[in-house]
Amino acid sequence: MNIAEEIERINRQITSKGYKLTRQREITLTVLLENEKEHLSAEEVFMRVKEKFPHIGLATVYRSLELLVQLRIVEKMNFGDGLARYDLRHEDHEHMHHHLICTSCGALEEIQDDWLSELEDRLKKEYGFQVTDHRLDFMGSFKACSTDNCKKQKTAVS
């Protein structure tokens, strides 16, 4: 799906919940879509939004991000570096994807497969607990970090 189609899909989500896709929110979403693999912080989102919409303020970007989190369009995450980072949710995945986070270099790798569905089924069966969402982050080191081929060169978290 291209960015325009994603924006339209998200616009339907936003309007179905009684909100409008303002120009500021649209630009914020565009920046998130254009930089999806980077897991940008609010400040990084702001700097990139400001390039496209110079008159926008930091508070407006924060409010846009928080509304998108509240509407479950964006997930607010912390990878242990002291920054809140933002990750788009996708309708083709029932749950958020998972992350491998390298504590040596800060590199981040995403796992799209949901390996927890059997556990969710067991929780429902044994405890009567219906899981509606989950997130799993694995902290550790990539093998390449002990060599000169550190993954940070490929997918580093800013």
pLDDT, one tens digit per residue, over 41-86 is 999 999 999 999 999 999 999 999 999 999 989 888 877 777 888 9
**Number of structural domains in the chain:** 2
Range of the domain at 65: 1-92
Task: Point out the domain boundary residue: 76, 92, 108.
Answer: 92
- pLDDT tens digit string along 94-139? 555 677 777 787 777 777 677 788 888 899 899 999 887 777 777 7
Q: CA angle 120-108-47, nearest 5°?
A: 115
108-111 and 98-102 beta bridge pairing: antiparallel
Q: Which residue has the tokens 């325009």?
A: 4
Kindly state whether residues 137 and 63 are assigned to the same domain: no
CB 155 within 8 Å of CB 109: yes
Percent of the chain with pLDDT over 90: 42
Final residue of a structural domain among 69, 92, 115: 92
Task: Give the integer Cα–Cα distance in Å for 55 and 57.
Answer: 7
Average pLDDT over residues 7-15: 93
- Give me the CATH number covering residue 157: 3.30.1490.190
Asked if residues 102 and 140 have their Cβ atoms less than 8 Å apart, the reply is yes
Task: Write out the H or E segment, with its range, that includes residue 119.
Answer: helix 117-127
Find out whether 108 and 102 touch, Cβ atoms under 8 Å: yes
Query: What is the predicted pLDDT for the residue at 39?
Result: 84
Residues 111 and 85 in one domain: no
Question: E strands within the chain?
Answer: 74-78, 84-88, 98-102, 108-111, 137-140
The pLDDT assigned to 103 comes to 77
